[in-house]
Amino acid sequence: MNGGNGRRIIRLFRPYRLRLSWLLTMILFSAALGVVPPFLLRDLLNNVLTRGPALDTDRLAILVAGMVAIPIVTQAIGVAQTWQSNLVGQQVMHDLRAAVYRHLQRLSLAFFTRTRTGEVQSRIANDIGGVQTVVTTTATSVVSNVTTVVTTSIAMVLLDWRLAVAAFALLPVFVFMTRRIGQKRRALTATMQGTLADISTLVEESLSVSGVLLAKTMGQTDELTDRFVAESRVLADLEQRSRMAGRWVMGSIQATFAVMPALMYGVAGYLLSTGGPTISIGTLVAFTTLQTRLFFPVSSLLSVQTDVQSSLALFDRVFEYLDLPVDIDERPDAVALDRADVRGRVEFDDVGFGYDPDAAPILEGISFVAEPGSKIAVVGETGSGKTTLGYLVARLYDVGSGAVRIEGTDVRDLTFDSLRSIVGVVSQETYLFHGTVRENLAFARPGATDAEIEAAARAAQIDDHLRSLPEGYDTVVGERGYRFSGGEKQRLAIARAVLRDPAVLVLDEATSSLDVETERLVQDALDDLSQGRTSIVIAHRLSTVRDADLILVLDRGRIVERGTHADLVALGGRYAALVERDAVVA
């Protein structure tokens, strides 16, 4: 991972400096206490037990009490240390999850139209979840183990530097081998997370109500199962390779540490045989005791290095999302229009728009004015840019050229809260959360009272139906509202718009997929909703826009005709052809 991302990981912990200072203090104190017992043991062996019957019982009691008390104290500190480290780690995890979710909410609609939902879910659930252990415990464990290794190494040198040199001789080799393992694990982890994202996408798409319905009606359940099994098999293979990466190396390291005490006895014997300075039994036992204490933190550090490398690959993926540019943002000097002062005048001034700068524009040279309270209809063939035009009013996309103005103010100069209070959108695809009807309606205005919610439902002509249900407004709508028909969902969407009370209403083919009777009910609700508001109606069935004050006919992103229904029919052009075809289909 590059240094920039390393600094970003450190910055995640910066708000918790005080807690980390306390944690570091506990780690240092615990590590310092931990090296004391071997020195007490050396004193006990060399200066107390060797005296036989003449031993100093008071000194014996003090040494034994110290050797008993110190482990108890260090364990108590360890509990407090674990609590503090997990507290900080969980706060950092919360901050990271919130930052990613908040950033994704700021991205434009364009990002979500080109990104798989399962991929987004995988980044939040799998990638952030994957770094949890490193953030909550591993970081603290590294500091604690490093401190223990340093203090223990110093103590070993103080006991006998010759034995210490022999004990540390193989450590550089172990570090080198572990780094190689870590790099391999990191590459495997990045591949694994990509496979996890593919599996998440497949599950999200194929096990949703729509996905199951499509698979069963198309006879593709076996094929989807085979795809899932194949992806799962790839993931299992990657997991196996990741877990076995360097296992022989780690096993060799652990075996080496296990036989180290015996090797130290051999080194001590060799030093004595050469006539060098004597090594007392107490010193040798204390040294091997320290060496045994060194085994766990060193092996842990060597192992954790591979885990950290794996987590760095996950951090790379998380930061990749955090680095996505926000192409539609609120300007620092954005203004807020008072909803009570907004009459609903909308102006398109030579508007151009394209998703890709290198491709042909979706809209070009669009200019018109929607006066307050007027109804503007936008018609045209599929792909002519009708929906995009409507979304520009709500600033779901930003214009490429020209400007969209409400009450003379460019929508790019408005605060998001102000714009959302002014512009309401009712789309063809009604999205309902898996919750109650009341919760879904209140999503438009969380502070709405029950009376206001029910009044909105009456305005949308859905109140009577809701009251006829056994649980009324507390009926759970099911995933994406599948317990309701298309017309009922549309009327719930209209009720949400009523509750929001926008001055400008964008209706995106809101009745195109409904049968004639249901369309009539929904259209009546839409007519009521449009009273006193400026409406921009993106029409599929031209029968719904005959009464529009102005009809715009789009073709390949340009306005090719404009006028009233009667004017355009008399013109005998593109609109007249659409009307004739619509009548034949109907």
Q: What is the pLDDT of residues 507-536, one digit of tens each?
A: 887 665 566 666 677 677 777 777 778 989
**Other residues' Cβ atoms within 10 Å of the Cβ of residue 57:** 8
- Alpha carbons within 13 angstroms on the beta-carbon side of residue 298 total 25
Q: What pTM, to 2 d.p., does this model score?
A: 0.68
Q: Is residue 281 part of a domain?
A: yes
Give the pLDDT confidence of 237-265 residue by residue, as tens digits.
777 776 665 555 566 666 666 667 667 76
Give the pLDDT confidence of 13-50 residue by residue, as tens digits.
888 889 888 988 888 888 888 888 888 888 888 888 87
Q: Is residue 125 part of a domain?
A: yes
Asked which of 269, 291, 322 is the last residue of a domain, the reply is: 322
> Where is average pLDDT lowest: 130-139, 484-493, 555-564?
130-139
Residue 171 has pLDDT above 70, yes or no: no
Long-range contacts of 205-214 (CB under 8 A, 24+ apart): 205/117, 205/118, 208/479, 208/480, 209/478, 209/479, 209/480, 209/482, 210/480
Confidence at 585, pLDDT banded by 50, 70, 90: very low
**Other residues' Cβ atoms within 10 Å of the Cβ of residue 44:** 23
CATH number for 580: 3.40.50.300
- CA–CA distance from 37 to each of 59, 71, 289 (Å)? 14, 9, 9
Is there a single domain that holds both residue 475 and residue 565?
Answer: yes
Nearest to 319 by CA among 14, 46, 96: 96
Question: What is the C-alpha separation between 499 and 456, in angstroms, rounded?
Answer: 6
Is there a single domain that holds both residue 301 and residue 381?
Answer: no
Question: What is the C-alpha separation between 184 and 153, in angstroms, rounded?
Answer: 30
Is there a single domain that holds both residue 28 and residue 135?
Answer: yes
Q: Is residue 328 part of a domain?
A: no
- Can you give the pLDDT at residue 187? 66
Start-to-end Cα distance in the chain:
61
User: What average pLDDT does the structure give for the chain?
Assistant: 80
DSSP 333: T
Q: Residue 485, class by beta-carbon neighbours within 10 Å (0-12 exposed, 13-18 middle, 19+ buried)?
A: middle
Is there a single domain that holds both residue 279 and residue 390?
Answer: no
Is there a single domain that holds both residue 254 and residue 379?
Answer: no
What percentage of residues in the chain have a pLDDT greater than 70?
81
Is there a single domain that holds both residue 134 and residue 184?
Answer: yes
User: What residues make up the domain containing 425?
Assistant: 339-585
Is there a single domain that holds both residue 280 and residue 403?
Answer: no
Structure tokens at 490: 């549309």
Is there a single domain that holds both residue 318 and residue 343?
Answer: no
Question: What is the C-alpha separation between 399 and 402, in angstroms, rounded?
Answer: 7
Give the pLDDT confidence of 310-328 residue by residue, as tens digits.
677 778 878 888 888 888 8
Q: What DSSP line would sit under 368-399, residue for residue?
A: EEE-TT-EEEEEESTTSSHHHHHHHHTTSS--
Nearest to 39 by CA among 151, 138, 143, 147: 151
Residue 302 has pLDDT above 70, yes or no: no
Asked which of 290, 322, 354 is the last residue of a domain, the reply is: 322
- Can you give the pLDDT at residue 306? 61
- Can you give the pLDDT at residue 499? 86
For the stretch 517-533, what's the b/e string if a residue is b when 16 or more beta carbons lie within 10 angstroms of its beta carbon? ebbebbbebbeebbeeb
Question: What is the C-alpha separation between 199 and 192, in angstroms, rounded?
Answer: 11
Q: Is residue 179 part of a domain?
A: yes
Residue type, 282: G
Q: Rounded to 10 degrees, what is the CA torsion of 517, 519, 521, 527? A: -150
Q: Residue 322, class by beta-carbon neighbours within 10 Å (0-12 exposed, 13-18 middle, 19+ buried)?
A: middle
Number of independent structural domains in the chain: 2
Is there a single domain that holds both residue 407 and residue 530?
Answer: yes
Q: What DSSP line would sit under 203-253, residue for residue?
A: HHHHSSHHHHHHHHHHT-HHHHHHHHHHHHHHHHHHHHHHHHTTHHHHHHH
Token pair 């240390």 is found at 81
Q: Is residue 227 part of a domain?
A: no
Residue 182 has pLDDT above 80, yes or no: no
Is there a single domain that holds both residue 314 and residue 384?
Answer: no
- Can you give the pLDDT at residue 310? 65
Q: Is residue 500 part of a domain?
A: yes
Q: Is residue 332 part of a domain?
A: no
Confidence at 346, pLDDT banded by 50, 70, 90: very high
Give the pLDDT confidence of 424-471 residue by residue, as tens digits.
888 877 778 778 899 889 888 888 899 999 988 888 888 888 999 888
CATH number for 256: 1.20.1560.10
Strand order in the sheet with 363-370: 363-370, 346-353, 401-406, 409-410
Is there a single domain that holds both residue 347 and residue 318?
Answer: no
Q: Is residue 449 part of a domain?
A: yes
Is there a single domain that holds both residue 176 and residue 312?
Answer: yes
